[in-house]
Amino acid sequence: MTSIAPESTVGQIVTENPDTARTLERLGLDYCCGGKLTLSAACAARGLDPAAVARELTAVAPSQGQRSWADATMSELADHIERAHHQPLRADLPRLAGLVDKVARVHGDREPALFEVRRVFTALAAEMMDHMDREERVLFPALRAMERGGAESPTDPALIAGMVHDHEDAGRALESLRSLTEDYTPPPQACNTYRVMLHALSEMDRDLRLHVHKENNILFPKAQRGAKHAN
């Protein structure tokens, strides 16, 4: 197994072995919006020993059949993101909204932070719905066209920059949700609905981080390289 160097970027580590994502999450290291940081820099910000973390990550064996998307075409990656991330999130957001609203109404008087959870989640859900629509209507078709040799350039810097900005907003929202819920940990008195809500938010958090990672650290750099080559 190839050793991971502390000078590797966090995003590249997950690109080469997606199974390292769980270790980075456990250590509080951001591999999606912060994916361009080196492991050394990310560890320094968290007070961690980069050499020890690099050894731990090197020991993570990739799952059999686990694909690294680094060698995928932009069309393959866009198709995968729509199928594996957009469609499930779009289908699940109404269920999550119902859970968050119910828990806030029932428990919010005793735990006011739940009202803030509802506010942050509601804003995040609306932004992600708009974000996914813009990707599917504008960005992804443009990337597919560029790959087919179409004349229309998809690489207006403002287009991808806007998507990255959305990701940064989503990252801040996830940080708020984790803080407000103590990393999605149910309090002792939590009812079943409360626990289901926290589990669902935790699953959304993890999936959204992988989703953003695949775009920020794989798809968007491919698009930018393709534009430079075309020019």
pLDDT digits (tens, 9 = 90+) for 155-178: 567 889 999 999 999 999 999 999
For the chain, the average pLDDT equals: 91
How many other C-beta atoms can be found within 10 angstroms of the C-beta atom of residue 3?
10
Across 16-25, average pLDDT: 90
Task: Kindly state the tokens that stand for 81.
Answer: 């993101």
Query: Maximum CA pair distance of the chain?
Result: 61
Q: Give yes or no for residue 154 having a pLDDT over 60.
A: no
Q: Which residue has the tokens 């719905």?
A: 129
Q: Give yes or no for residue 147 having a pLDDT over 90.
A: no
* pLDDT score for 1: 52
Task: Kindly state the tokens that stand for 29.
Answer: 């290291």
In the chain, % of residues over pLDDT 90 = 73
Q: Which residue has the higher pLDDT, 224 or 195?
A: 195
Across 64-83, average pLDDT: 88
Cα separation values, 185 from 8, 30, 213, 217, Å:
32, 20, 24, 29
* pLDDT score for 153: 53
Instruction: Give the rounded distance of the alpha carbon of 187 from its chain centre.
Output: 26
Kindly give the residue spans of alpha helices, DSSP state H, lying in the chain: 10-16, 20-26, 39-46, 50-58, 74-81, 87-107, 113-134, 140-147, 157-180, 192-214, 220-230
The alpha-carbon radius of gyration of the chain (Å, integer) is 19
Determine the Cα–Cα distance for residues 146 and 141; give it in Å rounded to an integer.
Answer: 9
pTM: 0.86
Q: Give the model's confidence band at 100: pLDDT under 50 very low, under 70 low, under 90 confident, else very high.
A: very high
pLDDT tens readout for residues 101-140: 999 999 999 999 999 999 999 999 999 999 999 999 999 9
* pLDDT score for 228: 59
Q: Which residue has the higher pLDDT, 153 or 158?
A: 158
Q: Give the model's confidence band at 200: pLDDT under 50 very low, under 70 low, under 90 confident, else very high.
A: very high
* pLDDT score for 150: 60
* pLDDT score for 152: 53
Does residue 40 contact residue 57 with C-beta atoms inside 8 Å?
Answer: no
Q: Give yes or no for residue 4 having a pLDDT over 70.
A: yes
Q: Which residue has the higher pLDDT, 157 or 70?
A: 70
Q: Give the model's confidence band at 53: pLDDT under 50 very low, under 70 low, under 90 confident, else very high.
A: very high
How many other C-beta atoms can be found within 10 angstroms of the C-beta atom of residue 36?
14
* pLDDT score for 75: 95
Does residue 127 contact residue 224 with C-beta atoms inside 8 Å?
Answer: no
